[in-house]
Structure 1
Amino acid sequence: MKTRLNVYFSPDLLRRIEELADRRRLSRSSIVEAAVASFLSPDGSDQREAAFTRRLDRLSRQIERLERDVGISVEALALFVRFWLTVTPPLPNDAQSAAQAKGRERYQGFVEALGRRLAKGKGLLQEIPNDILTPSCNTGAASGDEPMADDHDPTSPEALGQR
């Protein structure tokens, strides 16, 4: 059972209530009742705030993971460049063109191997915890999926030995 309550509205607010009631094909009383219930319900704003907080927390965790992954990538690249520059001797001038051709071939093999790894969906960052947990398996690949040893895989022992 509902109780009658007389309220006074400004002409502009009453016009807006009437327009909304007409658009939604509802009574003016139901529009006002819903508005008052929403105003009195502390759950509405609390629920919105909790939802925003959960979303912000999730985004913060995602950003932290991205920062960690980028940091690992940068450190791995820096370590590789330092190692490469330390162990690679300069080439004589007469071997430059052959080395450039071999470099293009190896780069093409690298791109193909990278494409295969990306297609698998499992990357280095997912393998690192497995490598740490199984130190006796120091082959460079986790969970037994060794790269294919062919002419197009720059990580194969044959390709690494050709430097």
Structure 2
Amino acid sequence: MKPRHHLYLDEALTEQLEALARKPGGSKSAIVSAALSAYFLRQGAREVDDLLKVRLDRISNQLARIERDGQVLLESFALLVRYFLNVTPPLGEDDKVGRALGRDRFHAFVGQVGRLVAEGKRTLDPEGEQ
């Protein structure tokens, strides 16, 4: 047996409840029970949403910082390349020694980047200054 409840509703809500209860298969008890169940489910979901909101805000802030850092990095790199290309004269077609030296320097550069990434070190890290 289900417990009986006495509720007081305003006129507009009472009219809506009665209109829904007139439909086939509808009853005031079933409508109120479904409405209360939905309300309580939303309350639980709201608590979860509040907990997730804090974490999502933190992740969003971290992503914003990563995006900003990436833009600074790309702009710095672009300026470095532009400067390098402006101040370095091009090598002649027959300058095999210059090209070999450039190739060796490039391989050394790529190797150094690979080692730093593999070791988890950063060139601009204040603790690991070189």
Instruction: Give yes or no for the alignment of 1:74 onto 2:74.
Output: yes
Q: What is the percentage of aligned positions where both structures have the same residue?
A: 35
Q: Give 1:6 shift.
A: 6.0
The CA RMSD measured in Å over matched residues stands at: 3.0
- TM, length-normalised to structure 1: 0.50
The structural deviation recorded for 1:114 is 0.6
What residue number does 1:154 align with?
Answer: none
What is the letter of the counterpart of residue 119 of structure 2?
Answer: K
User: Bigger shift: 105-114 or 41-50?
Assistant: 41-50
- Partner in structure 2 of residue 58 of structure 1: 58
What letter corresponds to residue 83 of structure 2 in structure 1?
F
Give unpaired runs (5+ residues) of structure 2.
5-24, 26-35
Map of 2:114 onto structure 1: 115
Change (3 A) 1:92 1:41: closer
Task: Mark the runs of 5 or more structure 1 residues left unpaired by the alignment.
Answer: 11-34, 131-142, 147-163
Match of 1:29 in 2: none
Cα 1:144/1:60, change in 2 over 3 Å: closer
Q: Show CA shifts across 1:64-100 (max 9, x none).
A: 02211211111111121122012212223331x3222
Which structure's CA Rg is the greater one?
2
Match of 1:156?
none
1:40 matched residue in structure 2:
40
Normalising by structure 2, what TM-score? Answer: 0.60
Are residues 1:104 and 2:103 paired? yes
User: Aligned partners of 1:84, 1:48: CA distance in 2, in Å?
Assistant: 53
The aligned length equals 101
1:83 and 2:98 aligned:
no
How far apart in 2 are the matches of 1:54 and 1:144?
Answer: 33
Deviation, structure 1 residue 59 = 2.4
**1:51 shift after superposition:** 2.4
2:116 maps to a residue whose letter is R
In structure 2, give the amino acid aligned to 1:5: K
